[in-house]
């Protein structure tokens, strides 16, 4: 299996695009669970960094396609089922430096919002953004009051609506200001 091994780097250097779940067939193909939207977006990147057991290994994507409700992919140097089995469970990473530029100044990647302290316009700390998820109408911020600075230890679901609920995002300060009633 030909692949280049990268030195172990901090998670701050990469964003997780998906996961290799299991082998597909006998010719080295793998099933892929994608975190990108649309799901095929993971196939736009031809150099994948795989993280398995704390090691980072770079593989070139040779071919990928939609298969049923998911995706399958073939990586350079992975030609047999046993080689694919050895990669099952690996996370697919991309160096953050390789992410495309966002269009607007108020556009953010989800990983940039995760971990931000969420404060109301009145200065009440609700907690930190734990993660986001998609709904049909808009994305949703999951805010958890997980520290002493938070008003309580509740989990809140806030719609990610810039200009309405989300008033300001200051990445340098690590703070998101929201128009939200702490009682909700």
| In-domain check, residue 103 | no
* Residue given tokens 């990928």 in the structure block: 64
Range of the domain at 12: 4-97
| In-domain check, residue 119 | yes
CATH number at residue 35: 2.40.30.60
CATH number at residue 145: 2.30.30.240
| In-domain check, residue 160 | yes
Q: What is the pLDDT of residue 6?
A: 37
| In-domain check, residue 104 | no
| In-domain check, residue 123 | yes
* CB burial string 32-55: b at 16+ within 10 A, e below: bebebeebeebbebeebbbbeeee
- pLDDT (tens, 9 = 90+) of the chain, 184 residues, equals 333 333 333 457 888 999 999 999 999 999 999 988 789 999 999 999 999 988 999 999 999 999 999 999 999 999 999 999 999 999 999 888 888 888 877 788 888 899 999 999 999 999 999 988 888 788 899 999 977 788 898 999 999 999 999 999 999 999 999 999 998 8
| In-domain check, residue 141 | yes
Last residue of a domain, one of 62, 97, 132: 97
Q: Which of these, 5, 98, 99, lies nearest to 52 by C-alpha position?
A: 5
Q: Are residues 82 and 118 in the same domain?
A: no
Q: What is the pLDDT of residue 51?
A: 94
Q: Are residues 82 and 117 in the same domain?
A: no
Q: Which of these, 76, 73, 70, lies nearest to 88 by C-alpha position?
A: 73
Domains of the chain: total: 2
| In-domain check, residue 102 | no
Q: Are residues 149 and 86 in the same domain?
A: no
Chain centroid, CA 173 distance in Å? 21
Residue pair 112/96 in contact (Cβ under 8 Å)? The answer is no
| In-domain check, residue 184 | no
């Amino acid at each position: 299996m030909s692949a280049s091994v990268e030195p172990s780097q901090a998670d701050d250097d990469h964003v997780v695009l998906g996961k290799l779940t299991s082998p597909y067939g006998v010719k080295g193909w793998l099933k892929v669970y994608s975190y990108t939207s649309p799901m095929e977006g993971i196939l736009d990147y031809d150099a994948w960094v795989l993280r398995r057991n704390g090691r980072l290994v770079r593989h070139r994507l040779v071919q990928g396609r939609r298969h049923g409700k998911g995706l399958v992919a073939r990586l350079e140097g992975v030609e047999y089922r046993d080689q694919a089995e050895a990669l099952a469970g690996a996370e697919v990473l991309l160096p953050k430096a390789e992410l495309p530029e966002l269009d607007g100044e108020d556009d953010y990647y989800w990983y940039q919002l995760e971990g931000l302290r969420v404060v109301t316009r009145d200065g009440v700390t609700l907690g930190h953004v734990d993660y986001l998820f998609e709904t049909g109408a808009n994305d949703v911020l999951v805010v958890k009051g997980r520290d002493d600075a938070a008003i309580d230890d509740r989990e809140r679901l806030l719609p990610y609506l810039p200009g309405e609920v989300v008033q300001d995002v200051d990445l340098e300060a690590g703070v998101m200001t929201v128009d939200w009633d702490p009682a909700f």
